[in-house]
Amino acid sequence: MKTIIDIKKKKGSLSVTLEDGSIMEVVFEIAMKYHLVAGESYDDERWHRMISENTYQQALNQALFKLRKMMTLFEIKQYLEDQGYPQSIVKQVTHHLIERRYIDDVRYAEDYLSIKKMSEGPEMMLYKLRQKGISEPILEHLFHGYKEDDVIKVIAEQKWYGLKHKTKRQALMTIKQHLLQKGFHREAIERILISTEEDMPSHDDDLIEKAYDKAYLHLSKKWSGYELEMKIKEKLYQKGFSYPTIQAILEKKKLQSW
């Protein structure tokens, strides 16, 4: 038998004190169902049944609170286990959540791809989704129609117009590194950049005169004549300017000096 000696209201539950001094939290729904009243005694069978239902309801309430943010089945299981709930309760709760579509790994994966496909490559997305417990069959279905080349092309074009301060070669390297870091495949990146490079506008002609003047000001303090010209060529090439663009600025500067 269990005898209740005191009941205190708390936010969302009742604090129940037993005659042995132990205290337990009971959710309102369960307290009402089992008519918990201070001074009353309850046989062991009824009490254990109440404890089981209360533990389930507590776990369910906590899970629903966490699910204000969408989570995978693996994540909610992990959360409940970390809270100390037994496997039997975790299984009951997750079954309830799946039945009512509070948890749906397929929808989670589809939403993730829709939101992240322009900021994360397939390798990064696959890694993160596997970490969240999404199964391989779901991942295989998810990426069946995914067109990495199309995504890379859009990202490259968007990023290109924010790199007006870089030479064409520097811009291509910056975009390539960005895409690699985001988890896109190297072969796909190189294929798309090669195929779209000619269509990308170059800002080299606008940039090289300033770069030439800066290099000339610095290098002419130590070099002159042919050696100065070679040093400037080297400096401009290191900055990512193409050989024809460098030759053109050198010819232009020669003409200006006559």
pLDDT tens across 29-64, in order?
A: 999 999 999 999 999 999 999 999 999 999 999 999
Tell whether the model's pLDDT for residue 8 goes beyond 80.
Answer: yes
Gap between the Cα atoms of 226 and 232, Å rounded: 10
Task: Decide which of 13 and 139 is more confident.
Answer: 139
- Please give the distance of CA 10 from its chain centroid, rounded to a whole number: 38
Architecture of domain 2-99: Orthogonal Bundle (1.10)
For 27-65, what is the HEC assignment? EHHHHHHCCCCCCCEECHHHHHHHHHHHHHHHHHHHHHH
pLDDT of residue 256: 55
Architecture of domain 148-199: Orthogonal Bundle (1.10)
Q: How many CA atoms lie within 13 A of 21 on its CB side?
A: 0
**Tokens found for residue 63:** 């899970």
Task: Decide which of 225 and 201 is more confident.
Answer: 225
Tell whether the model's pLDDT for residue 96 goes beyond 90.
Answer: yes
DSSP annotation of 2: E
pLDDT of residue 202: 62
Band the pLDDT of 162: cuts 50, 70, 90. Answer: confident
> Which of the residue ranges 75-89, 107-121, 139-153, 234-248 would you say has the lowest mean pLDDT?
234-248
pLDDT of residue 127: 96
Tell whether the model's pLDDT for residue 176 goes beyond 80.
Answer: yes
Cα-based torsion angle of the residue sequence 217, 218, 220, 225 in order, rounded to the nearest 10 degrees: -100
Name 134's Cβ contacts closer than 8 Å, sequence gap at least 6.
72, 74, 105, 108, 109
- Please give the distance of CA 83 from its chain centroid, rounded to a whole number: 25
Domain ranges of the chain: 2-99, 105-142, 148-199, 204-257
Strand ordering across the sheet containing 2-10 = 23-27, 13-18, 2-10, 41-42
Cα-based torsion angle of the residue sequence 95, 97, 99, 105 in order, rounded to the nearest 10 degrees: -100
Tell whether the model's pLDDT for residue 173 goes beyond 90.
Answer: no
Residue owning tokens 């796909």: 188
pTM confidence score: 0.72
pLDDT of residue 160: 82
pLDDT of residue 161: 78
pLDDT of residue 199: 67
List, for residues 100-133, the tens digit of each pLDDT value. 999 999 999 999 999 999 999 999 999 999 999 9
Name 186's Cβ contacts closer than 8 Å, sequence gap at least 6.
180
The fraction of the chain above a pLDDT of 90, given in percent, is: 60
Gap between the Cα atoms of 197 and 207, Å rounded: 18
Name the strand (E) or helix (H) holding 123. Answer: helix 122-131
pLDDT of residue 157: 85
pLDDT of residue 49: 95
Q: CA 31, 32, 35: angle at the middle one, nearest 5? A: 80
Residue 199 buriedness (CB in 10 A; 0-12 / 13-18 / 19+)? exposed
Band the pLDDT of 204: cuts 50, 70, 90. Answer: low
pLDDT of residue 18: 92
Residue 39: left (phi > 0), alpha (psi -120 to 50), or beta?
left
Tell whether the model's pLDDT for residue 159 goes beyond 90.
Answer: no
- Partner residues linked to 16 by β-bridges: 7, 24
The fraction of the chain above a pLDDT of 70, given in percent, is: 94
For the beta carbon of residue 187, count every other beta carbon within 10 angstroms. Answer: 9
